[in-house]
Amino acid sequence: MKTSKKVAIVYDWVDKWGGVERVLLALHTLFPKAPVFTSYYDKNKAIWAKHINVIPSFINQLPIVKSNRVLSFPLFPFAFESFDLSQYDIVISVTSSFAKSIITKPGTLHVCYVLTPTRYLWIYPENYIPLVFRSLFLPFWNYIREWDKLVSNRPDRLISLSKIVASRVQDIYDKKTEVLYPPFDTAYWKNIKNEVNASFNFSKYFIPKSYFLVVSRLEKYKKIDLLIKTFNIIKKDLIVVGKGSQMHRLRHLAGDTIHFLEDISDKELAFLYMNAQALIMPQEEDFGYVALEAQFMGCPVLSYRKSGVSEIIKENKTGLFFSQQSISSIREVLERFDQISYNLKGATVMQGEEVSAQFDTSFFRSRLLHILQ
């Protein structure tokens, strides 16, 4: 986008890689001169940002606190309010936490892309902050929830990642928002797919002949432990791609048919999608970017129904849903999958590219530029 207006991007923390980070790269492509303001920047864990001007808050100077969400939690409001954004005409905040709380001058357009209302305040507090700490600091906890509601009024415009997120924003912040689905780089993944089809060797890892696949950050709310417990029982091979705070616990829980991979390339990931029985997503996703990747590569998706993934896959065409986050419900959907796996795989190979292409980057860019006019 060629514009004389100065643009800044604000994100909660730059210290990992995942679907949301692809959104940030898309924004960087649109606004290559725009700096990214954030609470904390880990250059080693966010290699994708090495060519971006990342400006971290004072939290980055606190050695023990900076990478610990619990310890840094009380400081986030101060961190984002401390940024001086007075020189910018447009500020785009991308947040599942407190980035929306930035203070902008009159005349600056602040558009907030809501990934979800602050997850550890409203949706999964038990997965982030132990009850004993919440009880101990209950007055502060109640204060920060009210503050979070208050600062949701600071952006000039709120946009939701998906319909399920828009519903949460309505319930929690009492605001109606339009939906702008995140960008899927069809051309990029098409090139990856062609390269893997042409010739690809995945010999450096042990890959079972027949396996199911999980691609996820290994955090408590992702419910990967539920899948591991299920596959420990049914004795089928499951490949878990990702890393996170639950890695040690999940490895300890896993039986012989569970295999872990991390830091793999997109070509290796595409190979896994293309050869997997199905991708399984037991979590309540805000959107579920990996479901787009999987479909595009011809991999059916088995997902928890109460999830943004329900807005992505076509039931009985490119995937199936299960209704409960339980071992019995996952076993039921696996039994259904066994009965129609051949037809479902074929349908996904035929229709997956078309379905995922409906979320192409071009739609995201055109809608966002219209919003920023």
First to last CA, the chain: 11
pLDDT digits (tens, 9 = 90+) for 242-252: 998 899 999 99
Tokens 């990478």, located at residue:
67
Q: What gap in Å lies between CA 355 and CA 15, rounded to an integer?
A: 31
Residue 355 has pLDDT above 60, yes or no: yes
Residue pair 241/213 in contact (Cβ under 8 Å)? The answer is yes
Q: What gap in Å lies between CA 355 and CA 360, rounded to an integer?
A: 10
**Domain architecture of the chain: domains with CATH:** 7-180 (3.40.50), 186-357 (3.40.50.2000)
Residue type, 237: D
Give every CB contact of residue 251 below 8 A, 6+ residues apart in sequence: 260
pTM of the model: 0.89
pLDDT digits (tens, 9 = 90+) for 42-87: 999 898 999 999 999 999 998 877 777 777 888 889 999 999 999 9
**Confidence class of residue 131 from pLDDT cuts 50, 70 and 90?**
low
pLDDT digits (tens, 9 = 90+) for 188-233: 999 999 999 766 666 667 788 899 999 999 998 899 999 999 999 9
Q: Vertex 189, ends 54 and 164: CA angle to 5°?
A: 70
Say what the pLDDT of residue 197 is. 79
Burial (CB count within 10 angstroms: exposed 0-12, middle 13-18, buried 19+), residue 2: exposed
Is residue 323 left, alpha or beta, with left meaning phi > 0 and alpha meaning psi from -120 to 50? Answer: alpha
Neighbours of 188 (CB within 10 A): 12
Residue pair 1/89 in contact (Cβ under 8 Å)? The answer is no
**DSSP at 183:** P
Residue 22 has pLDDT above 70, yes or no: yes
Q: What gap in Å lies between CA 288 and CA 330, rounded to an integer?
A: 18
Mean pLDDT to the nearest integer, 292-312: 96
